[in-house]
């Protein structure tokens, strides 16, 4: 069989459909678990969905336990350019493990990448939820209803900047990212740069920083704040369906 090529253009020689898959990305873990749970044998500690997932944990996305991964004898490891280190991918490949690396910075990229993962890497069919997500998210861009800022950390403050999946998701929901033109993808900014006129609402997600009612909203004096699900803003996969509902409801209240 001719080689397959992941999103980075790297060739993978898979002699047969993978039967033992380790996922190093929460979104990809949730995606595979929703449609092909029988092939998943390992995932990171951050792979929290589905909640009843019972697989071997191989530490985190940035520090995976490569020896634990090798002990699982995977046919395939799935990773992401942004979430995982090139060093870990290189060393796993050097140990003889095929690694499929995804590249996702927009919603259309996510939809296409997931379809290729299922149909090419896993040798199956595109799941029904993926087709539903495409119908919800792949249409023309709506008019901008409001401008939002999305902090992802505090002390120091960091926000979602340019060329990110989250920024594209927001725009497709009718929300403009206040930092879309910043030269950095996840810039460090001052609180005053977030809490300023011109921004209609600040969205405080519960990951990666866990913003709560008592940790985050009290810092803002000028701009209204909404606590939101971090998974629904940053994950791609089955989460795209409830994310559409959440953001649609949010837009109607602004």
**pLDDT tens, residue order, the chain (254 aa):** 677 999 999 999 898 999 999 999 999 999 999 999 999 999 999 999 999 999 999 999 999 999 999 999 999 999 999 999 999 999 999 999 999 999 999 999 999 999 999 999 999 999 999 999 999 998 899 999 999 999 999 999 999 999 999 999 999 999 999 999 999 999 999 999 999 999 999 999 999 999 999 999 999 999 999 999 999 999 999 999 999 999 999 999 98
Please name the residue that has the structure tokens 């140990």.
95
Phi-psi region of 129 (alpha: psi -120 to 50; beta: other; left: phi over 0): alpha
Scanning the chain, the segments in alpha helix (DSSP H) are: 26-35, 66-71, 86-94, 107-116, 128-137, 165-172, 191-194, 230-234, 240-253
Distance separating alpha carbons of residues 228 and 184, to the nearest angstrom? 23
Distance separating alpha carbons of residues 149 and 165, to the nearest angstrom? 14
Q: pLDDT value at position 254?
A: 86
Q: pLDDT value at position 239?
A: 97
Q: pLDDT value at position 138?
A: 86
Distance separating alpha carbons of residues 181 and 106, to the nearest angstrom? 15
**β 175-177/201-205 pair status:** unpaired
Total residues found in the chain within this entry: 254
**Whose CA is closest to 206, among 246, 146, 249, 248?**
246
Phi-psi region of 195 (alpha: psi -120 to 50; beta: other; left: phi over 0): beta
Domains of the chain with CATH codes = 4-136 (3.40.50.1980), 146-253 (3.40.50.1980)
Degrees to nearest 5, angle at CA 85 with 106 and 91: 130
Cβ pair 24, 78 in contact under 8 A? yes
Strand ranges in 140-210 using DSSP code E only, listed in sequence order: 146-149, 151-153, 158-159, 175-177, 201-205
Q: Name the phi and psi angles at 152, rounded to 5.
A: -120, -5
SS3 content of the chain, % helix, strand, coil (to 5): 35, 20, 45
Whether omega before 215 lies within 30 degrees of 0, making that bond cis, reads no
Cα distances (Å, whole numbers) of residue 57 to 20, 23, 38, 71: 14, 10, 16, 12
Cα distances (Å, whole numbers) of residue 236 to 19, 101, 138, 231, 249: 23, 15, 14, 9, 19
Predicted structure pTM score: 0.93
Q: pLDDT value at position 1?
A: 65
């Amino acid at each position: 069989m001719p080689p397959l090529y992941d999103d980075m253009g790297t060739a993978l020689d898979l002699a047969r459909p993978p039967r033992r898959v380790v996922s190093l990305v929460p979104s990809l873990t949730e995606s595979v678990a929703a449609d092909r749970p029988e092939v998943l044998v390992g995932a990171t500690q951050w792979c929290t969905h589905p909640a009843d997932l019972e697989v071997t944990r191989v530490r985190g996305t940035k520090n995976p336990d490569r020896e634990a991964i090798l002990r699982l004898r995977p046919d395939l490891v799935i990773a992401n350019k942004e979430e995982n280190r090139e060093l870990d991918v290189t060393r796993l490949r050097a140990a003889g493990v095929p690694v499929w690396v995804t590249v996702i910075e927009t919603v259309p990229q996510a939809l296409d990448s997931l379809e290729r993962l299922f149909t090419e890497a896993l040798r199956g069919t595109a799941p029904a939820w993926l087709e539903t997500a495409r119908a919800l998210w792949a249409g023309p861009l709506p008019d901008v209803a409001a401008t939002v800022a999305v902090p992802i950390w505090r002390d120091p403050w960091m926000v979602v900047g340019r060329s990110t999946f989250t920024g594209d998701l927001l725009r497709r929901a009718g929300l403009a990212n206040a930092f879309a033109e910043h030269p950095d993808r996840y810039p460090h900014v001052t609180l005053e740069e977030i809490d300023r006129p011109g921004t209609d609402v600040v969205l405080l997600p519960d990951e990666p920083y866990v913003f709560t009612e008592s940790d985050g909203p009290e810092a803002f004096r000028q701009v209204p704040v909404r606590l939101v699900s971090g998974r629904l803003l940053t994950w791609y996969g089955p989460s795209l369906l409830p994310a559409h509902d959440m953001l649609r409801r949010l837009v109607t209240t602004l």
